[in-house]
Chains A and B, each alone.
Chain A
Amino acid sequence: GGVGMPTGSYVAPKSVWLPAAKAKGLEISGTFSRRMGHIYMELSLMNKAMQVMTDFAIQFNRNSFGLAPAAPLQVNAPLTPNQTIEVSLPLNTVGPVMKMDPLSNLQVAIKNNIDVFYFSCLYPINMLFVEDGKMDRQIFLATWKDIPNENEVQFQIKECHLNADAVTNKLQSNNIYTVAKRNVEGQDMLYQSLKLTNGIWVLAELRIQPGNINYTLSLKCRAPEVAQHVFGAYETILKN
């Protein structure tokens, strides 16, 4: 599992983004987190070379949601051989935008006193779910009707053992809000909303049938290409 706090948003474990063999001894692992409305790139920098590393700086290529460092990369002391440091880099979403394929691909350049290195990573889209993503109920109903059926995408969330209340709480900790809940013929229907940092709203219907560990998630969004990523976020959140 991850290192997310029970009531906070989910944070995946760090993975290696840049192996030492490709960066003259600099190994970078990382993950993304969202805390108190702020997005962070959590980095571990490990010096596997035989010389000291200094003068670190980081830059992002333009990306789908305008993610950019909100401050310089703070590595205050030289990184000595075999030393690892943890750095939390604050990000904002006001950088240059260019739709990437896959959508959440981020190309990063990092430099030190030795050279400049490049790597790509994927950020989980739930980092971009904002705190004020609970849609007004009347607007939800109107928007649900207004978005054409062709824009509705259905997914199965398999082998989930949470009840409707646990699902609601877990999703709310990750800025997915339940706008309404109905029980029809024994099954729970949760109507939910979330908003991305770029203002795109996603409406969801999550259907939980008694005795069925597979839930049906229906997503409606004016930008249907985000649906697959939002489904991925539901799966990650509900299974961790």
Chain B
Amino acid sequence: TPRVLEYDVDGGRDLDIFDINEEAGLNLVEGDIELDEKQAR
């Protein structure tokens, strides 16, 4: 049987949360935590 097209929803990469955020250029605490004003202070 000829192959059909297969589309990788994550581009063929097993990205963890922290990899995704790093690629997005986010500089969050512990990779995925957003601080509010008080915490940031």
Q: Do A and B come from one complex?
A: no
Chain A residues with CB under 8 Å of chain B are none
Binding site for A on B (CB under 8 A): none
